[in-house]
Structure 1
Amino acid sequence: MIRAATEHDLPEIHAMIRELAAYEKAAEQARATQDQLRAALFGEHPAASVLVAEDDATGDLVGFALWFPRFSTWTGTRGMHLEDLYVRPHTRGAGHGKALLAALAAICRKHGFERFEWVVLDWNQPAIAFYKSLGAELLEEWTVCRLTGAALEQLAAQAPPLAETGR
């Protein structure tokens, strides 16, 4: 079963985020706390939304998909960015990942989103094969850029003052 996450699901979502980070060989980078997730997902102005996959037999959470809207200046429309898709290893192959992606595709269609995008690590061949089997196009000519830490701070220090707009 696929459903929208609730605050009650936060401990399991948090645990799965840490499991995903460990799988991606980046456990030390998964620093988000349950309180941060609560504010980001269920606060006054949510930054993202989460669907969860429940095992039909046990009711246990076995996967999640965290997403947020994006905007394309080229199409003039909103789209969806999938930040995380994770299915616990012992339940992989049972259709939970496909069901989560299908539910997200249905949300895209419902809201008129023209693009549904995400990134995948180039070494994650099982995920790449899975995405390709669903018809996903891998945009190999695009490279993800990221500023963090000292580089982010150094660039921010060079910013001119922003004019007030009255908004």
Structure 2
Amino acid sequence: MTIHIRFAEARDIDLIHGFILALADYERLAHAVRADKAVLAHHLFGPRPAAEVLIAEKDGAAAGFALFFHNFSTFEGRPGLYLEDLYVSPEARGAGIGRALFARLARIAVERDCARMEWAVLDWNSPAIAFYRSLGAEAMDEWTVNRLDGAALAALAGAPT
């Protein structure tokens, strides 16, 4: 068995979109997916890419992905790497693909002088939480994620809804 991790290209947009839909289904959030292939292509491979994607292949077949972008720590004075989504196909789980994706992300973070890697996990996803702990990750339980979107975002911006 061989695992290969590569950066996604524009030609991978169908694959990326499919992984996003599969992840949303697993997370019981399929109803929340609004992204279509055109929107993803624009924001991932357009003139100002907002994020990057890694594709994991097992024996030459796509098996998973990781979508990430850079944030910035004012306390550290350095960038960070934020992992938005990571997904491994059910039939490929247990083969080390998740670990390989995380190792590649860690190498990217080190190469780019990032102070840290961060991500969120749903509190009910105990297999993922156990996996993250096995990597040495620490829960940031004292922090609470906040979100402003939709009508509330538009209202605060003074934009018509």
Structure whose alpha-carbon radius of gyration is higher: 1
Higher relative contact order (CA 8 A, sep 6+): 2
State the secondary structure of the residue aligned to 1:82: strand
Moved over 4 A (4+): none
Aligned-residue CA RMSD in angstroms? 1.1
1:127 aligned residue = 128
Structure 1 position 37, deviation (Å): 1.1
How many Å separate the matches in 2 of 1:134 and 1:84?
17
How far apart are 1:6 and its partner, in Å? Answer: 1.1
Match of 1:164 in 2: none
C-alpha distance in 2 between matches for 1:149 and 1:43:
24
**In structure 2, what residue type is equivalent to 1:151?**
A
CA distance in 1, matches of 2:144, 2:61: 36
Between 148-157 and 112-121, the greater mean CA deviation after superposition: 148-157
User: Structure 1 residue 9: deviation in Å?
Assistant: 1.3
Q: Which amino acid aligns with 1:73?
A: T
Q: Are positions 1:68 and 2:65 aligned together?
A: no
Q: Distance in 2 between matches of 1:129 and 1:26?
A: 21
Tell me the residue number matched to 1:161.
none
Deviation at residue 121 of structure 1 after TM alignment: 0.4
Confirm whether residue 35 of structure 1 aligns to residue 38 of structure 2.
yes
Correspondence for 2:155:
154
Question: Deviation digits for residues 26-80 of structure 1, max 9, x if unmatched?
Answer: 1011111111111111111110000010111xx2211000000110111110010
- Give, in whole Å, the separation in 2 of the partners of 1:149 and 1:38: 22
State percent identity of aligned pairs.
55
Query: TM-score, normalization: structure 1?
Result: 0.90
Residue aligning to 1:85: 86
Partner of 2:49: 46
SS of corresponding position for 1:50: strand
Aligned length: 156
Instruction: Structure 2: state its 5+ residue gaps.
Output: none
Aligned mate of 2:18, from 15, 31, 47: 15
- Distance across 1 between alignment mates of 2:27 and 2:88: 13
